[in-house]
Amino acid sequence: MPNQRTPNNPIFSISFSKGTADQHRLPLNHVLESLAEIAKMIREVGIQVQRANGVENPDGDFGIELLAGRNGEAFYASSVGAQAAITRDVRNGVETMSRIFAVTDTVEKKRVRPVDNFGEPVLRRLALVGKIQEKDNTELKMQLVSGRKKPQETRFSATGVAALRAMNTAELAIEAVTLYGKLQRLTDFSANDEGTYFWGEVREDSGKIWRVRFKIADLQRAQRLFTRQVMLAGDAAYFKTRSPRLDATDIREEKPRDYMAALQRLQKNYGPVFKKENAQDVLNELRG
């Protein structure tokens, strides 16, 4: 999709205030690392928004272009900040930013509530941005100006960093859990896991989504089982706001279940219980 540069392109701005930012200076690597995490956040949420809205090849690329000031500077000093324009797939770009702002508001206002697949990349990337903010004692503010609509704003302060840390703490851990479902996603979430772990997503028959952390040694096996029904074993952790996580110790393909054969074996071993009941009739009754 080509870029659509017009005077009315939505403007997305990011600024850091307080701490060292109030001196109109910040370590360059801190600024670049924060912007990189926000860019990855936009792309990851954007891919899901585009997919949900029927985009054929979602890539999360909204042609975001950094805007220079009157004197050609890319960063401006109302603290330290920058502006960018959304120039491609504008409708989905605006929806993506709105979703990011909504989740960030939830964190900042300490409203503990579950997040969906759109929200998880926001929490994950904000956690990394928060670590950088703590070093500089800064506060992140984001704003989106789109057409004649009221500007959308959100912030991520020390309050949000603390709230996010609490949200990411497991409420309950259970060892030796067995999980059945469809392996529907494989991804490398974090640079911190590189060479050690990779991540996946499993959907149970009930529709419940699990985040799964695999050992890198299981990569080829997981790739062979991608999109198939699998059985996973491992230790589970449950969170207030995120999908439960399974640290997988084993993964294998789940063999199709032959309920008729199972009932026939049960009928053979416990004939007096079933008497003359037909196994198919019993199965139909169980299914309702």
Tell me the pLDDT of the chain (288 aa) as tens digits. 555 556 678 999 998 988 887 777 788 888 889 999 999 999 989 998 998 999 988 899 999 998 876 665 556 555 678 889 999 999 999 999 999 999 999 999 887 666 777 887 898 889 899 999 999 999 999 999 987 788 999 999 999 999 888 877 777 788 889 999 999 988 875 556 667 889 999 998 777 889 999 999 999 999 999 999 999 999 998 877 677 899 999 999 987 766 667 667 766 766 666 666 665 666 566 555
pLDDT, residue 19, reads: 87
Give the single-character DSSP code of 19.
Answer: G
User: Which H or E run includes 220?
Assistant: helix 219-224
Q: In sequence order, which residues have a C-beta less than 8 Å from that of residue 146 and are 6 or more positions away?
A: 10, 11, 94, 152
- Residue in this structure with the two tokens 């054929």, named with its chain if needed: 56
Angle at CA of residue 46, ends 205 and 150, nearest 5°: 120
Burial class of residue 234, CB neighbours in 10 A (0-12, 13-18, 19+): buried
Q: Using the 8-state DSSP alphabet, how is residue 276 labeled? A: T
Question: Which pLDDT belongs to residue 284?
Answer: 67
Q: Which pLDDT value is given to residue 70?
A: 65
Which SS3 state, helix, strand or coil, does residue 54 take? Answer: coil
Contact indicator for 178, 204 with CB cutoff of 8 Å: no
Helix or strand (DSSP H, E) at 13: strand 11-17
Q: How far, in Å, are 19, 154, 190 from residue 179 at the CA level?
A: 46, 38, 24
Q: 183 by DSSP, 3-state: which?
A: strand
User: What does the pLDDT read at residue 161?
Assistant: 93
What pTM did the predictor assign?
A: 0.66
Q: How remote is the C-alpha of 135 from its chain's centroid?
A: 25
pLDDT for position 102: 94
Tokens (6 digits) for 90: 């504008």
